[in-house]
Chain A
Amino acid sequence: MTSLHLSFYSAFTLSGLGLAFHRTHLISALLCLESMMLSMYVALAMWPIQTHTPSFNMIPILMLAFSACEAGTGLALLVASARTHGSDHLHNFNLLQC
């Protein structure tokens, strides 16, 4: 595995672990999601260069579009939780049964 591949594999794994093991705030989970998206972007951008198929150059752009939607949804959830509970602490989400 080249060092390039190692960089985005490790970025992805570390962000995934960060997503799973954050302690207090929802926003740190969202940040980890964004870094996962970033590493995926780099991976997708490297792929057509490595395999010499320039017609796949558009794929990272599509991914960016969808990740923008997803980031928006995550932020909307953040704002909703901030409106109802006053903060984005994760222990609030135990009270989903309302």
Chain B
Amino acid sequence: MDLSLVLNTSMLLTLVTLSAPIILPLLSMNLKNSPTTITSTIKTSFFISLIPMSIYIHSGMESITSLWEWKFIMNFKIPISLKMDFYSLTFFPIALFVSWSILQFASWYMASDPHMMKFFSYLLFFLMAMLILIVANNLFILFIGWEGVGIMSFLLISWWHGRAEANTAALQAVLYNRVGDVGLIICMAWLASYMNTWEIQQISSPTPMPTLPLLGLILAATGKSAQFGLHPWLPAAMEGPTPVSALLHSSTMVVAGIFLLIRTHPMFNTNPTALTLCLCLGALSTLFAATCALTQNDIKKIIAFSTSSQLGLMMVTIGLNLPQLAFLHISTHAFFKAMLFLCSGSIIHSLNGEQDIRKMGGLQKMLPTTTSCLTIGNLALMGTPFLAGFYSKDAIIENLNTSYLNTWALLLTLLATSFTAVYTLRMTLLVQTGYIRIPPLAPINENNPAVLSPITRLALGSITAGFLITSYIIPTKTPPMTMPLYIKITALIVTALGIILALELSKMAQTLTMPKQNHFSNFSVSLGYFNPLTHRLNVTKTLSGGQNIASHLIDLSWYKLLGPEGLATLQLKASKTATTFHTGLIKAYLGSFALSILIILMSTYTNN
């Protein structure tokens, strides 16, 4: 049995199965899609995608498939080449599993929506674009997937487009992603000029790689994965429905930037500047997002900032030159983050649209399964030993502690880890425990298999995924094996300190009056003053500077004032000054002109 044929065929079959609900209704008049058909399509795709993953685990076989080639210029070939290596073979089942659960949940969550079919087809398009991005081997196909997920993100965030905040949030997402796309295009242009290829395998340079394409890639990852500097779109993207937040902005789309850096990591190996930049940028993002999450009151925004913080942690791992560990964190993070979003969606619907955690409380007894899974997800996020998050997060912290790197990045990351514990525990305590703060008549109901089975399935994944993935893969870089005890349990100590702090603060805060404003809480609540500063100041300066240069300077000054109109004013000034000398006797002037011409002619004629 030719295993390579089976591998390639089943991967392509996965993609073809996903495109069936898009193509088949176009071919036949009678076929109409429904949410159940799309959900079962994705379920089928998931089971098919388990085949190539098992082949990889069994025999370590990877493959690259080259389809039709676009002969753009004679020398520069752009084939449709798909790479099925460890990253794509492992991410396909994970992404499809998470999407299957989310779509099953969405059939309950969006049941009262008039355009539910359109919602599901948007999600399907998004999933196709994401999978194309994952399986791409050259930057051209990756760019197609990149743009596809950006467009679908825009359409899905502004799903409730009657709401002004949703439209602004979608615009923010598109604009910030566009700024990142410029970085990706810089890298592609540089590669096309200097390496004459867009295939990732063919990129190699004997001298250390120049920093410019790597800066472009880091800019692209900053835009797509909401690192500090291009981050405001991610919390604003919570305006979209909860299934959108669960699929796009926690598990799949936002990891596309990190995935790009993982795919192109051979380019980063020889350039320590780029690696240090990744490290510091990631550390800054993770701490900033964790600080902002401390004072949020909207449950979805807390989870969004937690996503942003974990993305910063993935960037830190890339900066440590450990792409496989970053991928492991992506995989485990997908499970528990999607589950956290689905639990929050169930809570929101049960409380009739209430998203403020100050108006929730005591839900542990009213929504037992949902809140239990919320607890499991929060524990996994904090890195509780032997849940899913532990295998990736603890390994990252161990590698951080035993590497030769920037101390500041290390300290920021450790601080962010403890903040993670604080805000997670705050969310858990305020939502699930304590006195009930919800209005009396709330339609609390979680007895629907469409709600319970995705959440419990993802809970199972959150518990076991880390263990399963680390058991079956072989690490490409040696993990650190020996270290002193206090370094080994650093992550645990820091998390435990965060938990103790949060418990103490919650006990204090129950009898607290409204605190006066102080600088730290103001900084955290206003998200670091970043949004008003950049959205107003930066834009005003840029636009008015542009108007000054283009319109005022070039058009009005140079072309008009120094040209015709300036000449006209000069003439006017001259004639106004000389006017007093004129007497205006035209006939006398012209008559004397003719007379003098006559005299000159006669004098020259007589001289001749």
Contact = CB atoms under 8 A, between A and B. Distances in A.
B512 interface: no
A74 interface: no
B574 interface: no
Given A96-B579, A97-B579, A90 B594 contact: no
Interface in B586-605: 586-587, 590-591, 593-594, 597
A94 B584 CA distance: 4
A94 B590 CA distance: 14
Contacts of B594: 16-17, 19-21
B519 interface: no
Given A90-B586, A90-B587, A97 B593 contact: no
- The residue in A21, A23, A96 that gathers the most chain B C-beta atoms within 10 A of its C-beta is A96
A56 interface: no
A4 interface: no
What is the interface of chain A mostly: helix, strand, loop, or mixed?
A: helix
Contacts of B580: 97
A20 B589 CA distance: 8
B584 A95 contact: yes
A29 B583 CA distance: 19
B582 interface: yes
A22 B590 CA distance: 9
A16 B591 contact: no
Interface in B553-596: 579-580, 582-587, 590-591, 593-594
A10 to B, nearest CB: 13
Contact of B590 (A19, A97, A98): A19
Given A16-B597, A97-B580, A21 B590 contact: yes
Interface string A73-98: 00000000000000000100111111
Contacts of A22: 590
B579 A20 contact: no
Contacts of A29: 590
B581 to A, nearest CB: 10
B591 A94 contact: no
Nearest to B601: A13
Contacts of A20: 590-591, 593-594
A97 B587 contact: no
A29 to B, nearest CB: 8
Contacts of A95: 584
Contacts of B582: 96-97
A29 B582 CA distance: 20
Interface in A28-83: 29
A17 B587 CA distance: 12
A93 B584 contact: yes
A96 B584 contact: yes
A22 B579 CA distance: 24
B572 to A, nearest CB: 13
B584 A21 contact: no
Contact of B585 (A19, A23, A94): A94
A57 B12 CA distance: 75
A6 to B, nearest CB: 15
Contact of B584 (A17, A19, A23, A97): A97
Contacts of B587: 23, 90
A98 B590 CA distance: 22
A97 B579 CA distance: 6
Nearest to B594: A20
Contacts of B597: 16
Nearest to B589: A20
A23 B586 CA distance: 10
A20 B496 CA distance: 108
Nearest to B590: A20
Contacts of A93: 584, 586
Nearest 6 interchain pairs by C-beta: A20-B594, A96-B584, A20-B590, A94-B584, A93-B586, A93-B584
Interface of A: 16-17, 19-23, 29, 90, 93-98
